[in-house]
Structure 1
């Protein structure tokens, strides 16, 4: 937007840029990717257009990518202590073959199958959804202009011809458990893969439609490796800082510690915003506002009188967006690496390949995931065996911790927003933190003694600190009823990134195409802003 000649100002509520993609020193000497913690989905167009690599953004590719240790009581045969997956086809065959020779042959075909399905969705990620209002009911000129929006749909249709329609329908509507049961027979493999369908979602492997979330997590890639994930040098804040540097260089101004009080609207058109700065309320006049907040915050919190600016049916749909979150994140500073009993270190504190991967705990079989989910939903509590994904980015990025020490990031599920009987009071917080530490200890004895300090972020914490409504990391569920034309709502007057209010655009993960550190919602909003500005206003 700044490069196009527009006068751009960015207002951040907190003291640093980046929202949930930030690096912060929570424990002295230890720098954490405090909320989001791995990178893959960032669109390659953004990397190239903003020349982020030239601005110092470096990403450490992880290989292996996942490690699932198996507790002794859950081992089906002696010697089957763990499952490791990575970029090597031969290693994957060998690792999976320990559990099932059939699965070792099927795995590569499964990855190719997912790749074919991603090829269908990929063209839709970089374009706004087709505006059905204009296409079906608009003027002739509006209908003609909307034809360009058919191009990504056409590209998707060409990719559809390479797969069976039944496969597409199954992947986006079926439970993940059903899909994986068709492909595989070994429990550790199925449970490891199923975590990608559950991560960040209040859903279990048996939830219909969870297959799409699985697909969403393999849509990205790094260094030309499809589906690969990595650690940005310096933490996730390095991504935000590189984008911020690009904006400033192009002429944008960035103001931190400047929370927005309101989006100001007159006669259904944006007139600017009101911010808090230095204890005072300041009005900023602008004919165009892009909101990176959730739809709930944007429309229900920042509009002074939402009912005066939005039709009731739109308000009802916005209020009905599902923000349920299962996530509690814990950030640990440790003075040595976890030593896993399933594959112990031969040299103390020496990093093994497994340490650079996502480490899956309580993921030996899918029934464990189902039980953890059921406890949260039926008992409004958390399971004694929570699903855990742990990463140790300092293994590849020594800038995050003092020499020989590390940061361990724990993404855990399923925790309700307001657990019974007393919510997230001090007793409940201690109970859950100790449960997580005890779980890790059961796989890696000595972990508790290695802890230097830690932070725990429950769903209410994620909401209050990062503005994530309900603590939902995706700005709203990635379920089928909240995707594409229905993101953020199914209202036909909410054709994302547009809104019913002239000059107000949605730029966050609550808009199409959805959540993750992807950048695409913001890019689409910016492209729309430039197009609108070129038609309507002249910017000095």
Structure 2
């Protein structure tokens, strides 16, 4: 039986990133994937004739440009198409246009509130200062503050230097920002409810928090840290759907000599004498490796695929307490033609970006109240996009694909599992809401895929359907992610590693957890002085 240097469990984007770096470093790497395709949540799938769906993740910004360069992903066809903005459609029939350009945004804000237009410069300056603090940490392994190893002390000193580059007031503001609600934070700058509702959007995407929940402001920052073509905070569509990212990673990995076995999931990680040495698949196949790297979330890895007797009791308790709470659903809709929203001029550029209906923080919070009561939102928040306005390769000529990311959808309905009837009612609620703003929309629908946390967990392996593999709250960040003492991609079992979004720096199609995990593996196997310049950013 052949033996590999490394076996990666899960062909999602972080698993493929880690696999590609290790293969390029000369390792024999095998990726095992339960589905018949790779990509995890970043996939392009044909679910209706002639149409390509981005049926889970749907936009790109967070994916690190360093990874794109290192793994030569444009060579394998990856192209990110930036979009310019979007709109919030209001209940009174108006709209707030949004733009990637700061000055254009400021002018639109002035149409709704001259005072808020003036505050927008101050707000943007302050948020970007927080971004500048966080962004350099994305590609660094968190220090372990409980240990006195030179590298941990060096990383703590690095953090200290960054903190003390700020003024005393800025330090207080940063600590406060990480724990405050986005509602309270925006109240310090703005007065117009539509503007505040628009700016609060990034603070609730993918998280089981409402805009009035403490800690939601950081989630906004997490979404602001990406870039497209060097434009910080910009977003775009992967040409051909989000699967273009993972297909480019797959091709890069295979060109480096990597191997993929798809079609059967891992039943368990093989452990003996405190060391991982292989994986047993559900189809009965067994593969041996010098190390095992799990791209699954921390709960799925250690509570479902590792014998609890092989783990310390304290670690198991911490993993069980790690917060992974599903809050999102998704509709993917094939359309016979472009919808027409009553509030928007025909052909308006806002159609080419993200469209929202939730026009105030209070309305958003009421949607969250439904989630807390164990029900999907009756008046949900939608992050709705029509990527075919920019990328016509996804549909036949004249047709369109619409992606609707929806908050809030709980992992269980009033304490019980989702039924097909619940799923259908959720989908109908979303479609009815769109119809209110775009009369005739229902007549354009050729096909609709409805995905609740149940479908996200069953197909993609996201526990409770949580798209970040764990809440992005202050208690689960940096050296606390996933649990204290194990934030450096290692586990209590020797040679069992973890590289998914449950690790630092968290979720989204970013790739940083996979790259950082590969860096740590190479440091351990080759020594810090033997890593080639291609990986020297570690």
Partner SS, residue 217 of structure 1: helix
Structure 1 residue 480: Cα displacement: 1.1
Kept in 1: contact 2:424–2:450 (CA 8 A)? no
Range 449-458 or range 106-115, more displaced: 106-115
Partner SS, residue 38 of structure 2: coil
Question: What is the distance in 2 between the residues matched to 1:123 and 1:30?
Answer: 39
Question: What is the distance in 1 between the residues matched to 2:175 and 2:375?
Answer: 34
Query: 1:191 maps to which residue?
Result: 197
Partner SS, residue 128 of structure 2: helix
Is structure 2 residue 87 aligned with structure 1 residue 67? yes
Is structure 2 residue 122 aligned with structure 1 residue 109? yes
Query: 2:331 maps to which residue?
Result: 330
Structure 1 residue 233: Cα displacement: 0.4
Partner SS, residue 224 of structure 2: coil
Question: Residues 273 and 535 from structure 1, CA distance in 2 versus in 1: closer, same or farther, beyond 3 angstroms?
Answer: farther
Q: Which residue of 292, 297, 300 maps to 2:295?
A: 292
Is structure 2 residue 508 aligned with structure 1 residue 488? no
Structure 1 residue 152: Cα displacement: 4.5
Kept in 2: contact 1:394–1:401 (CA 8 A)? yes
Q: How much is the aligned-residue C-alpha RMSD, in angstroms?
A: 1.8
**1:241-256 matches, cutoff 5 A:** 241-256=247-262
TM-score of the pair, normalised by structure 2 = 0.91
Structure 1 residue 159: Cα displacement: 5.0
Question: Residues 205 and 284 from structure 1, CA distance in 2 versus in 1: closer, same or farther, beyond 3 angstroms?
Answer: same
Q: Which residue of 444, 452, 456 maps to 1:450?
A: 444
Partner SS, residue 172 of structure 2: helix
Query: 2:503 maps to which residue?
Result: 511
Question: What is the distance in 2 between the residues matched to 1:159 and 1:2?
Answer: 39
Kept in 1: contact 2:423–2:451 (CA 8 A)? no
Is structure 2 residue 505 aligned with structure 1 residue 530? no
Question: What is the distance in 1 between the residues matched to 2:241 and 2:46?
Answer: 11
Kept in 2: contact 1:268–1:502 (CA 8 A)? yes
Kept in 2: contact 1:119–1:156 (CA 8 A)? no
Kept in 2: contact 1:71–1:342 (CA 8 A)? no
Query: 1:441 maps to which residue?
Result: 435
Is structure 2 residue 373 aligned with structure 1 residue 370? no
Partner SS, residue 376 of structure 2: coil
Kept in 2: contact 1:327–1:413 (CA 8 A)? yes
Question: Residues 160 and 244 from structure 1, CA distance in 2 versus in 1: closer, same or farther, beyond 3 angstroms?
Answer: farther
Is structure 2 residue 308 aligned with structure 1 residue 267? no
Is structure 2 residue 222 aligned with structure 1 residue 216? yes
Kept in 2: contact 1:116–1:163 (CA 8 A)? no
Question: What is the distance in 2 between the residues matched to 1:248 and 1:396?
Answer: 30
Structure 1 residue 444: Cα displacement: 0.9
Gaps of 5+ in 1: 76-80, 136-142, 346-350
Structure 1 residue 431: Cα displacement: 1.8
TM-score of the pair, normalised by structure 1 = 0.91
Length, aligned pairs only: 508
Q: Which residue of 72, 81, 84 maps to 2:97?
A: 84
Query: 1:357 maps to which residue?
Result: 353
CA deviation map 1:415-449 (0-9, x unaligned): 22111386422332222211111100111111111
Kept in 1: contact 2:145–2:156 (CA 8 A)? no
Query: 1:140 maps to which residue?
Result: none
Query: 2:459 maps to which residue?
Result: 465
Gaps of 5+ in 2: 1-21, 531-538
Question: What is the distance in 1 between the residues matched to 2:135 and 2:161?
Answer: 9
Kept in 2: contact 1:123–1:156 (CA 8 A)? no
CA deviation map 1:235-280 (0-9, x unaligned): 111111111111111111112113111111111111111124xxx4
Question: Residues 167 and 132 from structure 1, CA distance in 2 versus in 1: closer, same or farther, beyond 3 angstroms?
Answer: closer
Question: What is the distance in 2 between the residues matched to 1:343 and 1:160?
Answer: 44
